[in-house]
Amino acid sequence: MDFKTKLQKTIARNNSLLCVGLDPDSASIEGALDVVSFNKRVVDRTADFVCAYKPNSAFFESYGLDGPKFLKLTIGYIKGKYPDIPIILDAKRADIGSSSEMYARQVFDFLDADAVTLNPYLGEDSLEPFLKRKEKGAIILCRTSNPSAKDLQDIKADGEPLFIKVAKKVVAWDKKYKNLLMVVGATYPNDLKKIREIAPQMTFLVPGIGEQGGDLENTLKNGLKGDGTGLIISATRSIIYAQDPRSAAKKLRDEINKHR
């Protein structure tokens, strides 16, 4: 089953647009839990309320030589116990073609992720090793949620902000490959509306809700497709470090649905 089909089935089954990020920080993990046990605990308590999980490779890489093992074990656990829930690796990969080919093998063949976040700065040939995996999802950075996004993404090119140029390019690439999505931050809901007008049928991964202070109601108003889908709302710290991750996930899932 390809990523987009898997995602849509899980959205319908769990009535959810919520994606829970898995960013295990040793400084924030309390008690005797190791990294993989911490992730298993979060997954087991939230699986009824999500449309996807999004492990962030940076947090795993911070553990040194054990990091890839922890990430592989975490993904393997989700694949084994909750095989219908798609896994997005937040890795922001892309390089010259030969390097990207190796990144694609690591992400899709070794780790077995269903989708990956990608940086478009090097252009199509840097993304092609990922895009040619038609059953996988390629989620392109367009309008990121961080405060300094404007440093480059607002630069005008032929009279348009660069993020608008990126959005148009992603739509063009998707006509060829059929497996692209975009990252559009909830901290810029007005820009999300502009990007939705450019890509009326595309699904967006939306970080920035929760700790980053993104505007959930306006994000949904400006970003949803007519059928109430088209967004993957990502939240991490507000759920995985909550006293009760299950209650936190259900609360946010239900809050999202209230505005759908």
The set of catalytic residues is 92
Q: Which two tokens stand for residue 214?
A: 């993104």
**DSSP collapsed to 3 states, the chain:** CCHHHHHHHHHHHHCCCEEEEECCCCCCCCCCCCHHHHHHHHHHHHHHHCCEEEEEHHHHHCCHHHHHHHHHHHHHHHHHHCCCCCEEEEEEECCCHHHHHHHHHHHHHHCCCCEEEECHHHCHHHHHHHHCCCCCEEEEEEECCCHHHHHHHCCEECCEEHHHHHHHHHHHHHHHHCCEEEEECCCCHHHHHHHHHHCCCCCEEECCCCCCCCCHHHHHHHHCCCCCCCEEEEECHHHHCCCCHHHHHHHHHHHHHHCC
The single residue listed with the structure tokens 């009326």 is: 200
Q: CB count, 10 Å around CB of 249? A: 25
The answer to whether 187 and 216 are in contact (CB under 8 A) is no
